[in-house]
Amino acid sequence: MSVHEQVGWLSLAAAAGFGAAGWWWLVQHRPPREIILLSLDGHAVAHPIPTDGTQLPVSYLLTGPAALARVQAAPPAQAPQVAPRLVEDPPAAPQAEEEPEVPEAFLDPISLGITHDPVVLVGTGAIYSRESLFQWLATGSRVCPKTNILLKDIEVVPLTALRQTIREWCERHGVAQPQAANAAANEAALAPLGPELQGLLASLRGGDVRLRGVAAGKINNMFIDWQRTPAILDMAEARTAAFKDMMLDLLWLLRHGDYYGAGVAAAALSQADAAMRVGEDVRHLLATLGALPAARLLHATDVYAQHSAARFLSIMRGLLGGELAAHVAGAGALSALCRQLQPGFPYVRCSAAVAIVAIMEYLPNRTELRRVGGVQALRRMVVEVYEAEDAGPTKQMHARYDCRDAAHALIAACATDEELAGQVPDSFVDHEGVLELTADMLRVFRSCGQAWIEGRVPRPGQGLDPQEEEELTSSDEEAAEAGEEAEEEEAHARADESEWETDEEGA
């Protein structure tokens, strides 16, 4: 008999009142794997010692010397076979109701929570919550978070049917829906802008492409009116909410609408800077989603669509980044913009000049603009400001806007004095006392004040307010950096040319 068995017997005998003598009698007279129990009716029972952790039955009782005498008097062979009864486990404590298992198709790959307001990233087919994906894309990343695929063109489309399916599932299982709270908050934010906006949003999202274009045109006109309404200009939160609410719908129309629809969509989206004054994160997102469709719209046969695309790209300054700027240039944007710099273009040309700045500030190689004749076209725009001196006030003001933005584009292109050289009108000499346009003069035009553009002072460097003075200093620093970059590029080009000549001689 093992030590554990003996200890167990001793514990049971002591508990029953047998004492040490009783335990010894039990050890000597019973099999090593059985124990004597006395039933309530006085019978002695041999019961196996449980080896699997089962509790001993409670229907048997061992007490005092009388119990020991009865055990001694009862031979083991005559003991009745009473089936032991196991003690029932206590009832389990009530468990909390388990949360429903969310279908995998309803989970957002970024937040790992339920997908609210689902959208699809068209290039990969991955589905995300709108806000999660927007936050990701606003960083400038062009990688699909779920598939890790690098996308050249990024298109995001709302999934209205899936949104309704997820909403019904949440209601059926009692799951909270942040989307419902967000929708209510968004509706409350848009309310101060008037009931007409809600009707236009409904038209923008329903009906055929033509009707959506009509709605986008009315929205663009509404944005223009807002710029003249001080009360709405003070509603920054409401304006931002309205723009974010309709942004994907306008971007869809920019891609898939006819020339009129795409043109008014681009025009409305370009109001992000002026009428809407949205934050930097929204503008970054707009660049990521809209720059390439706008670059393709530049090649439309409709001049209004071309001009609207240039306006859209003109608000992309500081937002494109090197990779996206290269894709936009690769779509032929520079050559299309240079066509808008020609004197016969029916709309203002300054938008095209600023769009060139937005692209060129990220391109290390500026030869493409020179190849398509952009430097000479921009130079001509600068000089034309003096040819418009005898024209009416409106034409003079447009010519000065063109001059300012063309000068900026030439600085971004690192135009040299040799490229700027050429015949200029006689009136040019009267104003500046020089015969040739120079890089230094470009910086003066680039940082001209509003007083000169409106004709209140005779020269571009006069009448500057404190903010314009600060911009002038910034422009000088910009020019210095651009000059250093140009010298570096020229040095690399000379080194490459020298290396090529050496190889030729060796061959």
Evaluate whether 275 touches 227 at the Cβ level (below 8 Å): yes
Q: Quickly state the pLDDT bin for 504 (edges 50, 70, 90).
A: low
Specify the pLDDT at position 490.
53
All structural domains of the chain with their residue ranges: 195-316, 327-424+433-489
Is the whole model's pTM more than 0.75, yes or no?
Answer: no
- Please list, in sequence order, all residues whose beta carbon lies within 8 angstroms of the beta carbon of residue 245, skipping any fewer than 6 positions away: 186, 190, 201
Backbone angles phi, psi at 383, to 5 degrees: -70, -30
Specify the pLDDT at position 336.
95
Range name among 56-65, 93-102, 295-304, 435-444 with the lowest pLDDT average:
56-65
Residue 232: both structure tokens together? 């709405």
Q: Quickly state the pLDDT bin for 274 (edges 50, 70, 90).
A: low
The percentage of residues in the chain with a pLDDT greater than 70, rounded to a whole number, is 68
Q: Which whole number is the average pLDDT over 30-36? A: 51
Cα 288 to Cα 282, 320, 426: the distances in Å are 10, 7, 46
Q: How far is Cα 339 from Cα 361, in angstroms, rounded to an integer?
A: 20
- Please list, in sequence order, all residues whose beta carbon lies within 8 angstroms of the beta carbon of residue 156, skipping any fewer than 6 positions away: 119, 120, 121, 122, 130, 133, 137, 248, 251, 289
Q: Which whole number is the average pLDDT over 182-204? A: 75
What confidence tens digit (pLDDT) does each residue in 433-453 have? 444 678 888 888 888 888 888
Q: How far is Cα 82 from Cα 77, in angstroms, rounded to an integer?
A: 13
